[in-house]
Structure 1
């Protein structure tokens, strides 16, 4: 549900379809140019009102209100209409936040690359961010010229290329009869070179170019035209000093292209125990463009692998710009290890693969990226899976980087395993029993086995639909599926894949554009893909593999970290995780979530991104498996970060593993059933409270730690837990004193280093004020009563009554958004991650952080967030804040014996505001 301060009403209650009554003129006025096209008829009625509201605010020159309103809408509903996303970007742009606007539009472009108006907007922002965005702008500008987009986009692209002062700026196109093109400022540049296969000719543009000249580009006579027969030539390059025009090279007869390259047939590579005459031959096709180190590693692994099946390696050098890489390939070719096809010009991944497929002619093929690493008899296993069924057309192995087949989490790229770990993982998979051919919606081209019979029926990769690379595998597999072929995963093969070596910065544009074309041609594919991810047939295989390699990875870890079970928001979760990742060693996290009254989901994962592990257990069903895995991991220590929310049986089990354990207390759940010491209208004293008072408190307020019906049972268990702990740590002297009253025989260590080091991880950024008439205070936590929501609400109402110039910015969500919005003095951003905090506060122009929690906190999370954002903090002198607040740094101590009105006066002191403005 969304509330707009400007109009005083709520949005997003019960969306229903309605035609939008907003004209194209209204929207085009906002974007300052024509035409900005929208498909609006399908928007829900609440989106309609929100869009009208945004346009109205634009008319009032209130751009800051627009981006705030639309950002919250998107944070609360990530599937918000793209029209609203772009309007938010425009509002950011009008507030001169060009980088932020660019990030918004670029994200929209990744999802809607087929929308020319989005690409046009992205070009405009690139132009404003030059020279900072020089490389990205150059890539997108040339792509725009190549696509021959609308004339407005072309003009912006030309402006970018001219501003970058990169020559040549020009394009060419072949229509089957003639090559036409243009070169800006041809009158002051050398003549173009036209390379017809191997022969060079000079060409000086001479045709008039009135459109370009009218827009202020070129000499007015920058065009050219050549009549060319496709039967006469294979490749034509049009270039200036070796730099091609957009659209060059032009391929007139690609089927014969490899005839111009260096090729020599080689004898198939076979195992010495098997004769080639009795073994099938598989052609391994490897396009190469960049990455000497990765390519060497790929060939070293490939040529040292042990396979029975004979194979031939066909390498396509796609006009590599790296001389050392070219020399390496030629050396392998000279040693008769590979068949080498050297293309005279770069034609992109799809074109290069098709050259290899044509050279293969009769054999099954494997398309292998040059940044992969194979192991053992990988080829034999892929071949065996391919022939498990006559209708299997393609086979893809598992990998760390293989989209829906990525290990351990599909659609997430994991680090490429080291050779020794790759060998172990692949060997483990090779020894698995049972079905290893799992049907998948599409193969993945990093390592992709295709049967010749399937290839003959389906045809080559589509180099018209797919530009240069990314998406060609999906298109082929969907064409094959339409003809009855199956695409399967070989779950007994693991091939490591680095990824992104050849394409570099242009990848995101290629991916966005090609995927948009795939979805347009195959609208049913997305549902098939999502269904595979939902059913997750690879989960048992992934879990077995993770358990097998867990001891190898965990041996490098320092500890198993038991995370708090109850965390009120994402920011708290991020901070707690940061506490144990400061040293060079990794740690493993054990997290819990209650699924039913008696069942829990427990996850085990590594803090190190180079250790791809994410195991899930159901408690108590998988209890024996969990204990087995934790023992096998061999952790050196266990750090228990909280007690509440973890079943006593699990905490007991952790203590019985025989591993030294440490307890880090973040609240008072060791002896308080509320965890925060809060009574109805007060905080419990430092001295011991009798059990009868605690029981009365629970009957009045309820109980957070539902595992215990009586405080004595909780405290008895805590005594037992504390007795065997190596250390019990708290971050504040106040918390230590309170715990000692209940546990006099336990030693409580005070350590604030973790808090201060976690805060130091942030990068302080200078704040910028959007509206100097409004003073904005950041409120990091207001999701629960314990985080101070009701104090924040009372303050907001007081600000409204006094018509104060202060506005509260609540990051994340609150206990009651509607009540805060209704004051007119608070804005709630919606869900926020820790990484976004500093940027958001800079955009909102906050001058002071405010935290009004009513209980004696131990961790000082608000202080950490204030440090992260470079803001002073105002907080009550309670708990750890008595120790953390530093008036010399602008922090404000709010005395407990003063009223809310007095606190407000303290925070409004001119000296304080000038110190932090």
Structure 2
């Protein structure tokens, strides 16, 4: 039908019909029609070609008479045509024709738009319900509402009361309020369900209201008391006695005393159907993220799954046209249901739309940035129906806070050494049919039984807007009604976490979190307790240890001569120790050996980690000590390399004996001779290694290193007892290795060891050809890394001040940051780049035209990877005559242990 208005005529010899449809507001069609030979003819309204009504255009229209369109003016019509009744009968197209000639009238399109009801229940009691609603598709007409109480139609009301608050809020259809005297319709002896529908249809609108009058409440509590009393007589337990003698009587008395105890059970929109054995409806809300969304939907159809399912994809006004086009094409090829929102509803409104569309089935809400795995739905549904009180189920994921793997409450990358479906199979094997109760479900992949939805209601759009905290609120509402929120230990779904719905800003999230915690003040403590207890850890460990075994088995298959594994014991605070262990481990693996790392992030939590993946098994000590030993034996550990024990208790040194294997010690610093690790005292510089009395005074005054688990008193309270303890450990080692001759010689001043040797850390070979300074008009000196006092911060301050004061052609470039960046804001000859990644260093040196590396550590470094990076960049070196930096820049040392770091040394500038 054309939108431009033309009079319709019939060229039949019998008559000429002219007519126009002027308007249709969803309730009344207006227009006019005239015939060339008769004033008494009929028009027909057709719905999808079916005649539904006849009428005669016989109303007076002065405009028709004045314009001489009609000789009498009685050619107009106004005919009732309720759009909701048409929608209820699934009609889609409307047309008006002259009954005899079949000539259609033209004018405004008679399109049937789906109703978009907006409204709210403002207040409710057993006496009155007040609210408002209007239809956004037909804003000029008031909505008539059929009111059902306990499934019986009791009255019809009109939402036509003027509401000034709606007008002030900018709602154009502000004459849309209603006030319902509900008290005359409810049964005061039972719980009442009040449902609102568009008049004459089955279209449910607004919230279902549950009203529980006082008498009904008291009767219900008395019945409950009787049931519990019978149980008490059969089983005299303190808990049941407490209920019958204290809790339930108090509730009865409180209800009787409460003058207005009518009940306020107002939830989000509810369905009126019960669950049966049907397909699962997978609801995928989509906003943006082309590749992620398509991968998600495709994965649902690609994986193996026995459970019947339907997919409902809802496009929430995506800002990406190419995504909208792709979804429309995929709908045809994959066969899912595609719904498209006319305007952006946000996550909450969109998934609610899907759950309402689903009507009777269980649902699974699936984020569009997920990838599912083989039999994921089978395992989730199995968990859901393992207990009739389970209401929601969440699977494992790599990015799902308390449901995350391998680390708890962390956004993890997927393991690199195993494919996604293989990883899922490990979960299925190791944790088969296991569930754990959660304080809240996680919305990335959230299964909800239809019976739970019927009881609890949908997500609360009014509370949470476009989204955040809605699944937490739903979970707590469900738990309040006796439903369990659980996690399926045997199911895994990848979650990228990269695609968000519009409106999820940090401020919006913070606001909703405050609102959530305000409504449920016990919730933060419940989550904190869950995190502290971490009941999911054993199930993460089952999977992680399986992966460590696979890693060890893969190594054996590659090199059957090396059946054992090496256990590294090290720290978690990074630095050169971490770089060295990774490099040495790479060499061990190239020789066909498996390498695993043991660290202690906290005193009672140790972690056994892969060094080629993010797999980690966590042990709570001392409870899990026997499990740790069992696992290490299973991984065939045949030697231990102690790289650092600063974060461990003394028990860590007993591992060698418990496993009956030898050990080596690699010294990355001076922890064994100095509890402060780096030989720095309160002057913030190298102490000069004084006598024992001075060391004791220093430790008493300054304490041990802040990362040290052991205190000074734990090892006797004197520097001699400290050193004696570590001398015994070093003496019992198969070998003690230092990363430089200087470090070895310092250790030998305290420990008479015949098993110690100096061995530079392995590095790739490169040629050092120092930058020429001949053409440099300004000398740019680079300070590399995190520059604190121990790395020469005070040297940098003094040099920069001096150069600025005397206007010297010298600039200082901090490639990294300092512990006092604020100090340098007033010095224009100092530039601070900020944190960087290692691979960015060459480009940063180039950008800032660096000539010299200032390596002014005030303690004797044991190796210095910073020196290696400076040499690779061919920077000249300015350093103190101290420690391994001086050694590695001094040719005199080369004859003893070979070319340092495999560098072909041509020339080094030393500035002392």
Which TM-score applies when normalising by structure 2? 0.51
How far residue 746 of structure 1 moved from its aligned partner, in angstroms, is: 0.8
SS in 1 for 2:282: strand
2:569 pairs, out of 538, 562, 565, with 562
Match of 2:396 in 1: 398
| Pairing 1:99-248 to 2, within 5 Å after superposition | 231=112
Residue 524 (str. 1) matches residue 515 (str. 2): yes
Q: Is the 8 A contact 1:780 1:862 kept in 2?
A: yes
Q: 2:111 and 2:747 mapped to 1: Cα distance?
A: 86
Q: Take 1:797 and 1:839, find their aligned partners in 2: how far apart are those partners? A: 27
Asked whether the 8 Å contact 1:852–1:876 carries over to 2, the reply is: yes
In 1, Cα distance between the equivalents of 2:312 and 2:878? 65
SS of 1:436's equivalent in the other structure is: strand
Partner residue in 1 for 2:535: 541
Spell out the pairing of 1:718-733 with structure 2 (5 A cutoff).
718=726, 720-722=728-730, 725-733=733-741
Say whether the 8 Å CA contact 2:643–2:668 is kept in structure 1. yes
When residues 482 and 460 of structure 1 are mapped into structure 2, their CA distance, relative to the original with a 3 A threshold, is: closer
1:395·1:487 contact (CA, 8 Å) conserved in 2?
Answer: no
Q: Distance in 2 between matches of 1:884 and 1:293?
A: 52
After superposition, the CA RMSD in angstroms is 5.7
Q: CA deviation at 1:412?
A: 1.2
2:447 paired with 1:448: yes
| 1:850 match: secondary structure | strand
Residue in 2 that maps onto 1:880? 884
Aligned 8 A contact 2:401 2:408 in 1: no
Distance (Å, rounded) in 1 between the aligned partners of 2:888 and 2:109: 78
| Residue 552 (structure 1) aligned to one of 546, 561, 564 | 546
Distance in 2 of aligned mates of 1:813 and 1:601: 32
The answer on whether the counterparts of 1:281 and 1:363 sit within 8 Å (CA) in structure 2 is yes
User: Does 2:652 match 1:650?
Assistant: yes
Change (3 A) 1:711 1:463: closer
Partner of residue 410, structure 1:
409
SS of 1:284's equivalent?
Answer: strand
State the Cα deviation string for residues 213-267 of structure 1 (Å, max 9, x = none). xxxxxxxxxxxxx9766625899xxxxxxxxxxxxxxx979x9xxxxxxxxxxxx
> Is 1:893 aligned with 2:910?
yes
Q: Is residue 2:371 matched to residue 1:371?
A: yes
* Match of residue 215 from structure 1: none
Whether the 8 Å CA contact 1:399–1:406 is kept in 2: the answer is: yes
Query: Residues 518 and 789 (structure 1 numbering): CA distance in 2 closer, same or farther, change over 3 Å?
Result: closer
Largest Rg, 1 or 2: 2
CA distance in 2, matches of 1:615, 1:881: 38
Partner of 2:438: 438
Paired residues for 1:8-407 under 5 Å: 231=112, 280-285=277-282, 287=284, 298-299=300-301, 301-304=303-306, 311-314=308-311, 316=313, 340-341=336-337, 357-358=355-356, 360-368=358-366, 371-373=371-373, 374-375=375-376, 378-384=379-385, 387-388=388-389, 392=391, 394-407=392-405
> 1:711-740 CA distances to partner (integer Å, 9 max, x unpaired)?
665555545434554543332233344445
The answer to whether the 8 Å contact 1:396/1:449 transfers is: no
Structure 1 spans left out of the alignment, 5+ residues: 1-176, 178-196, 199-225, 236-250, 256-276, 306-310, 334-339, 761-770, 896-917
In the other structure, the counterpart of 2:263 is none
* Counterpart position of 2:640: 638
Distance 1:365 1:546 in 2: 27
- Structure 2 residue aligned with 1:591: 599
Output the CA distance in 2 between the equivalents of 1:399 and 1:456: 28
Cα distance 1:229–1:371, how it changes in 2: closer, same or farther (>3 A)?
farther
Q: Matched residues in 1 for 2:801 and 2:294: separation?
A: 65
CA distance in 1, matches of 2:547, 2:376: 20
Alignment of 1:497 with 2:497, yes or no, is: no
How many residues align? The count is 584
Q: Residue 852 of structure 2 aligns with which residue?
A: 848
In 1: Cα distance, 2:606 partner to 2:372 partner: 33
- 1:860, distance to aligned residue in structure 2 (A): 1.0
Q: Is the 8 A contact 1:782 1:792 kept in 2?
A: no
Q: 1:574 to 1:680 in 2, by over 3 A?
A: closer
| Greater share of residues in strand | 2
- Partner deviation per Cα, 1:345-394 (whole Å, 9 max, x = no partner): 999996986675455322322234672124595244432377426xx5x4
SS at match of 2:659: coil
**Residue 894 to residue 648, structure 1, CA distance change in 2 (3 Å):** farther
Please list the CA deviations of residues 816-835 of structure 1 after superposition, one character each: whole Å capped at 9, or x if unmatched.
77888899977888887768
In structure 2, do the counterparts of structure 1 residues 462 and 889 end up closer, same or farther at CA, with 3 Å as the change threshold?
farther
CA–CA separation in structure 1 for the residues paired with 2:872 and 2:752: 35
Cα displacement (A) at 1:544: 0.9
Structure possessing the higher relative contact order (Cα contacts under 8 Å, 6 or more residues apart): 1
Equivalent residues of 1:644, 1:669 under 8 A apart = yes
Residue 598 of structure 2 aligns to a residue whose secondary structure is strand
Alpha-carbon distance between aligned partners in 2 of 1:868 and 1:534, rounded to the nearest angstrom: 48
- Cα distance in 1 for partners of 2:505, 2:675 equals 56
Aligned to 1:751: 760
Once the two structures are superposed, residues 679-700 of structure 1 have per-residue CA deviations (whole angstroms, 9 ceiling, x without a partner) of 9999799xxx9xx934444445
After superposition, residues 789-808 of structure 1 pair within 5 angstroms as 789-792=793-796, 794-796=798-800, 798-799=802-803, 802=806, 804-806=808-810, 808=812
SS of the residue corresponding to residue 364 of structure 2 reads strand
Distance 1:669 1:481, change over 3 A: closer
Structure 2 stretches of 5 or more lacking a match?
1-82, 84-91, 94-106, 117-135, 139-196, 198-273, 316-320, 553-564, 705-710, 768-775, 890-902
2:785 aligned residue (754, 762, 780): 780
Shift of 1:487: 8.0
What is the match of residue 208 of structure 1?
A: none
Distance 2:402 2:463 in 1: 25
- Report the Cα distance in structure 1 between the residues aligned to 2:462 and 2:664, rounded to whole angstroms: 59
Distance 1:575 1:600 in 2: 25
Shift of 1:748: 1.4
Mapped partners of 1:683, 1:450: distance in 2 = 67
Is the 1:643–1:670 contact (alpha carbons within 8 Å) kept by the matching residues of 2? no
Report if the CA contact (8 A) 1:560-1:637 is conserved: yes
Residues 645 and 891 (structure 1 numbering): CA distance in 2 closer, same or farther, change over 3 Å?
Answer: farther
- TM-score normalised by structure 1 residue count: 0.51
Once residues 453 and 781 of structure 2 are traced to their aligned partners in structure 1, the CA distance between those partners, rounded to angstroms, is 64
CA contact (8 A) 2:275 2:361 kept: no
